[in-house]
Chain A
Amino acid sequence: MKCIEARELMNAYIDNTLSDKELASLERHLDSCESCTVEFEEFKYMVQLMGEIELKELPKGFEEELHEKLILASGEMVNHKHQNETAKSSNVISIFKNNFIKKKYYRYSAIPAALILVIFAAKGLFPSLNMAKSDQNFESYVAETTAAAMMENDTLYGGLEESKMAISPNVGEVNVTTSFTSNQDTATGEALLKSAGESNYETGRMIIQTSSIQMDVEGFDDKVTQIKSLVEASGGYIENENASYRFYVSDEDNLKYGYLTLRVPEEGYTLITDSIKALGRVTSDASNATDITKQYRDTAAEIENLKVTEQRLREIMSQAVEISDILSIENELTRIRGNISSYEKQMKDWENLVSLTTITVTLNEVKNLKPVVEPIDNSLWSKAKAGFISTINSVKTFFENLVIWVIAKSPYLVSLGVIALIIKHFYFKRRK
């Protein structure tokens, strides 16, 4: 047996995993080879020493610390499960999609698509006719959806019905004092229900309401002033304002367009939008409500938890003696305070977003909301005359410019003429 082979087997020998045959040949080698014996003894001693290394005790507070972390982890796991469930439901949708494609149902989907095309083509042919209609359609749609939303509120939060009733008189007062000019009677009732549902953060729903209105108006500046006074009366403010001329025709025909971003208190939302819509012809109207009730309450609960932890840390702090303990508790406290304040800020932001709804109004000035045949202007002849004069003037200017150009460029022209003469001279000479 060679030394290399022996060294391969040494460790197995120490661990008692050699076969009898290997054992015998290794022992024979060790008897004869001194260096391998030293090597073997060294290995054996090293392994023996490592075997004598004692297990360390768990550090102080190990299990307590672990316990807290495990509780946290189990909380995370519950959240995770929820997410998984929602993911599963979206899987169902994708499975449905897959089947849809696999079974080649998409062939039949051509039929509705064609129908839609036909409808759109018809719309294209009679745009003015459809415009007026779509307004009505839209309004009825909005009415339906709000009704549906209210139904949902009633069924889900049936218990809140009483609190709504309790709040509504107050809100009613607020609305009356703001004294709106138009549509007040019809709009107030709706506003009451809506705002009462949203105003109580602890029990009601938290909804971020945004909407955008596009409309044609006559008299741009007047309407902007009216909108501004409406917003001020409701206690809101204008976040953004922008106005410019659409195109420059002549001094009389300036048409403007622009947009305003309004922030109004949620109680005044419906009133404001209705009043604005009454100012002109609405060409597009969209509103969006994001329900953040769940996130809001989760955050509130999180803050509660953190505050409890903070309280406990303070108790521990009062018992701590060693500097290192105090420092580490201090660290932990700072971290928790930071978390609490960031969550609180988030909640403030949400409250702000919920209490003030955002409305974007895009105004487009038109000459007349209803198309009319305009009478022939009295000043037609004077306009024609002005046009004729301006044409004459432009002809005059052209010739003036031509003369100026010729004189200004005469040095070039003279020298070019000389060169042309010389060339002509030589050309004729050669021909002769």
Chain B
Amino acid sequence: MESMLIEKSVQGDVESFEKLIVKYNRYVYNIAFRMMGNEEDAKDMSQETLIKAFKAIGQFKMESNFSTWLYRITINVCKDELRKRKETVLSYDAPLNEDEVTLKDTLKDETYNPLLIYEKLELRSSIENALNQLSEDSKSVVILKDIMGYSYEEIGAILEIPIGTVRSRLNRSRTTLKNILQIQLSEN
């Protein structure tokens, strides 16, 4: 079914392409939303992604997964845009400017699971904020793994990197994310 739609889309049939992407639209939008950090940009980027995909569908090779291919374009479109804007992002190589603060220091008197004392919602919005401060590469791994829930193999295919790299990148990204989160919480 999907391959038939792809073939028709290659010939420039807009309707077939729309049928093809209808189940991926929302994921593309959500990846873009997490990458860009706001709804306005997410809409622009996801539409740009889908149009790019439509124009380039002739280059899509049937042996790989269509969704993988589509998400790769999404990530790349967002990365390009972010690079263009040259927003200040934190990379996992550069150390954080703030003094190293651990949650334990800030919340001495609480239990061993101090994060629990925070309102879940509040914490989640902090995480979303912290995500926006990650570098593009770190962000893409965390989004795909922890928010979208893809496996290491799938992420490797989307980002075109080996699984070992996915693993180490995820490790570093989560650590950076947690550090940012701790700084945010200590500031409040």
A interface residues with partner B (beta carbon < 8 Å): 7-8, 11-12, 15, 17, 34-35, 37-38, 41-43, 45-47, 49-53, 55-59, 62-63, 65-67, 69-71, 73-74, 76-78
A41 and B12 contacting across the interface, CB-CB below 8 Å = no
B171 and A8 contacting across the interface, CB-CB below 8 Å = yes
Task: Pick the residue among A15, A17, A37, A77 that contacts B112 (CB under 8 A).
Answer: A37
A49-B17 contact, Cβ under 8 Å, with A42-B115, A55-B30? no
Contacts of A49 in B (CB 8 A): 120, 123-124, 127
A50-B26 contact, Cβ under 8 Å, with A11-B171, A38-B104, A70-B17? no
Query: Beta-carbon contacts of B108-127 to A below 8 Å, as 1s and 0s?
Result: 00001101100010011001
A62-B14 contact, Cβ under 8 Å, with A46-B177, A46-B181, A53-B128? no
Task: Pick the residue among A15, A73, A74 that contacts B145 (CB under 8 A).
Answer: A15
Q: Could you name 18 residue pairs across A and B whose Cβ atoms are closer than 8 Å? A: A11-B167, A12-B171, A38-B103, A41-B112, A42-B115, A43-B174, A46-B127, A50-B146, A52-B124, A53-B124, A55-B30, A56-B29, A56-B30, A59-B29, A62-B43, A65-B47, A71-B14, A77-B12
B interface residues with partner A (beta carbon < 8 Å): 12, 14, 17-18, 25-27, 29-30, 33, 39, 42-43, 46-47, 50-51, 54-55, 103-104, 112-113, 115-116, 120, 123-124, 127-128, 142, 145-147, 149, 152, 167, 170-171, 174-175, 177-178, 181
B147 and A73 contacting across the interface, CB-CB below 8 Å = no
Bound form: Cα–Cα A71–B170 in Å: 39
B113 and A45 contacting across the interface, CB-CB below 8 Å = yes
Closest B residue to A76 by beta carbon equals B55
B123 and A78 contacting across the interface, CB-CB below 8 Å = no
A12-B29 contact, Cβ under 8 Å, with A53-B124, A73-B51? no
A78-B146 contact, Cβ under 8 Å, with A62-B43, A67-B18, A73-B54? no
Is the contact region of chain A dominated by helix, strand, or loop, or is it mixed?
helix
B14 and A74 contacting across the interface, CB-CB below 8 Å = yes
Bound form: Cα–Cα A7–B26 in Å: 34
B47 and A77 contacting across the interface, CB-CB below 8 Å = no
Q: Which of A50, A76, A78 has the most CB of B within 10 A?
A: A50
Bound form: Cα–Cα A34–B18 in Å: 54
Bound form: Cα–Cα A78–B12 in Å: 8
Closest B residue to A53 by beta carbon equals B147
Task: Pick the residue among A45, A50, A57 that contacts B115 (CB under 8 A).
Answer: A45
A38 and B112 contacting across the interface, CB-CB below 8 Å = yes
Bound form: Cα–Cα A51–B147 in Å: 5
Task: Pick the residue among A53, A58, A78 that contacts B29 (CB under 8 A).
Answer: A58
Is the contact region of chain B dominated by helix, strand, or loop, or is it mixed?
helix
Contacts of B112 in A (CB 8 A): 34, 37-38, 41
Bound form: Cα–Cα A42–B102 in Å: 11
In the complex, what's the smallest C-beta–C-beta distance from B163 to chain A, in angstroms?
A: 9
Q: Which A-B residue pairs are the 4 nearest by beta carbons?
A: A50-B146, A11-B171, A70-B14, A74-B12
Question: Could you list 9 further interchain pairs (A-B, Cβ under 8 angstroms) beyond the known A17-B167, A53-B127, A59-B29?
Answer: A11-B170, A15-B170, A42-B178, A50-B147, A55-B30, A58-B26, A62-B29, A70-B17, A74-B12
Closest A residue to B28 by beta carbon equals A58
Bound form: Cα–Cα A45–B116 in Å: 8
In the complex, what's the smallest C-beta–C-beta distance from A188 to chain B, in angstroms?
A: 51
Bound form: Cα–Cα A308–B171 in Å: 55
Contacts of B171 in A (CB 8 A): 8, 11-12
A47 and B167 contacting across the interface, CB-CB below 8 Å = no
Bound form: Cα–Cα A46–B50 in Å: 31
Bound form: Cα–Cα A67–B51 in Å: 10
B25 and A17 contacting across the interface, CB-CB below 8 Å = no
Contacts of B46 in A (CB 8 A): 62
Task: Pick the residue among A57, A65, A69, A78 that contacts B26 (CB under 8 A).
Answer: A57
Contacts of B177 in A (CB 8 A): 46
Contacts of B33 in A (CB 8 A): 56
In the complex, what's the smallest C-beta–C-beta distance from B30 to chain A, in angstroms?
A: 5
Closest A residue to B167 by beta carbon equals A12
Contacts of A11 in B (CB 8 A): 167, 170-171, 174
Bound form: Cα–Cα A15–B154 in Å: 14
A66 and B50 contacting across the interface, CB-CB below 8 Å = yes
In the complex, what's the smallest C-beta–C-beta distance from A56 to chain B, in angstroms?
A: 6
B178 and A46 contacting across the interface, CB-CB below 8 Å = yes
A50 and B25 contacting across the interface, CB-CB below 8 Å = no
Task: Pick the residue among A38, A46, A56 that contacts B174 (CB under 8 A).
Answer: A46
